[in-house]
Amino acid sequence: MSKKVIIFLIIDAIVVIGAIIANSVIGSQVAESVDQQLQVIFKENAATAPFDFEYDKVTASPIGRSVTISGFKAKGGELPVDLTAKAIKLKMPFSEILALAGDKELKSIHKMSIDMQEPLFNTDKSEASFKAKSMKLSFDGEVSLFELENIENGLLPTTRQSIDINCQNMRFDGLQEMLADFSPQAPVEIQSFGNQFEQEGNFRLSLGYDPKVKQIHLKRMESSSESIDFNANAIFNFMGESIEDFEPKDAHIEARYNVTKLKQSYPELGEYEVRKADVAFEIDLNFDKSTDNASLSPLSIFPIKNMSYDIEVKDISFKPTEELSSMMNQPNVPIQIDDIKLNDMTLDFKMDGDVMRLDALSLDIDNMIKLNAKAKMSYQTMPNAGFFGEDAEVLVFDNAHIELSQLSDQLMELVEMMEEDMPRPFPRKGNKIIIDLSGPVTSPDIKGIID
């Protein structure tokens, strides 16, 4: 081995050893400084501290840009829940780690992450709890004394900010009991809603804020579990420079919801099971009051500009309780229902201003009915359509086409009873009942019935 190689190896070893020693020395200083500050805040000032707090030890690694608090426990005081964690790791830039180690005031934070390992949130007032393998909050932007002073004075932040929350292997337990304790008068089916969240899963939320373009960006919102997946993103534009004159301007939202093999039971209603359900949703909102809105739709009082909605469902079954079944199957009810099974359903709906389009609707209920429909509707000014006989804007079928087939005997009897009071029966095409509609939705004209 040459002398040059040996020299390089020695230099590398010295650098590595020096870095380890520096990391240990500075890390000890940072840990001691943080420990002293925590002692002052939570122990020496225990009477005025916002909550009880304890931990096992504090360690630090400037090379890893981190401070770790092990054996973390916080409870009581102003905290609504108790919190324990195996460890909490704080990561920030090296210069800010050094500021924690010295006597310098930490005037701003530009990047920071807080990673809680095995956190557990619970309370003595309820059996409900939340736990996770890890729960990480990351911040990128600027939190300074200047910005905090501006916010205290009612001004919005002037620098770009982003925040990310990431929970892995999280789980809620006892939500049904918590809802029952929180609202004893709530129906049992509402209290049972908490059962849906008692599955282990992951959650991710990322938000961005840009003051120059006045925009809040929901970059991602994701939730996944054994049976349910949800994801969404959105952009919100706003007006104003302060919290007082802050106003939303417009927004675009997209979301998707997927369910596979979900089974739930509600004591007052019964059991339902879903094999597959996909829901996609997209909407544009306009909150700007200065925009000239000539819409005729009563929906114009809401900020909806346009919207699309898509649903696809496979195999949903519902078995009502005996009590509910007896209520549904009274002698004077024309349709007797026991178990309900929806084999298939699809929906494709769009709205653009005053125009609504049902591009597709199909429905297949086992042993009951098959339905296919398309329609186009719009708001129009109609004479004498108001409550007092004045002109008014009403929703009108430009055209609508409905096909009914495979009706159960009970439904067929009901249709025939309706036809007895009609000038003509509904048009047929083979074994299908054909219904074509036009005119106001509240009193449409049916093609082939009255010409």
Profile the chain (451 residues) by mean pLDDT over runs of 10 residues.
41 38 47 58 57 79 74 76 87 68 64 89 77 91 76 84 92 70 52 59 92 93 89 93 87 92 77 88 81 52 80 88 73 65 92 90 91 92 75 87 91 88 90 91 84 60
Helical segments of 130-210, H only:
145-152, 175-182, 188-191
- At 443 the pLDDT is 85
Beta partners for residue 361, in sequence order: 347, 373
- At 208 the pLDDT is 92
Among candidate residues 319, 324, 311, 325, the one with its CA nearest the CA of residue 358 = 311
DSSP assignments along 43-61, one per residue? IITTTT-SSEEE-SEEEEE
The continuous run of DSSP H or E covering 161 comes out as: strand 161-173
Q: Which of the 8 DSSP states describes residue 29?
A: H
- At 176 the pLDDT is 66
Question: Is 439:447 a contact under the CB 8 Å cutoff?
Answer: no
The pairing of beta strand 304-320 with beta strand 270-286: antiparallel
pTM of the model: 0.77
Which backbone phi and psi does 40 adopt, to 5 degrees? -65, -45
- At 101 the pLDDT is 53
- At 1 the pLDDT is 47
Look at the chain and count its residues.
451
- At 319 the pLDDT is 84
Which backbone phi and psi does 404 adopt, to 5 degrees? -115, 135
- At 279 the pLDDT is 92
Among candidate residues 88, 171, 173, the one with its CA nearest the CA of residue 126 = 173
In the block, residue with structure tokens 């009590």: 323
CA distance 396 to 381: 9
Which SS3 state, helix, strand or coil, does residue 199 take? coil
- At 103 the pLDDT is 54
- At 376 the pLDDT is 94
Which backbone phi and psi does 346 adopt, to 5 degrees? -130, 145
- At 64 the pLDDT is 57
Beta partners for residue 212, in sequence order: none
CA distance 295 to 354: 6
- For the chain, the structural domain boundaries read 269-451
Question: Is 118:85 a contact under the CB 8 Å cutoff?
Answer: yes
- At 169 the pLDDT is 93
Q: How far is CA 124 from CA 75, 172, 181, in A?
A: 10, 16, 12
- At 217 the pLDDT is 94
The continuous run of DSSP H or E covering 411 comes out as: helix 409-419
- At 52 the pLDDT is 75
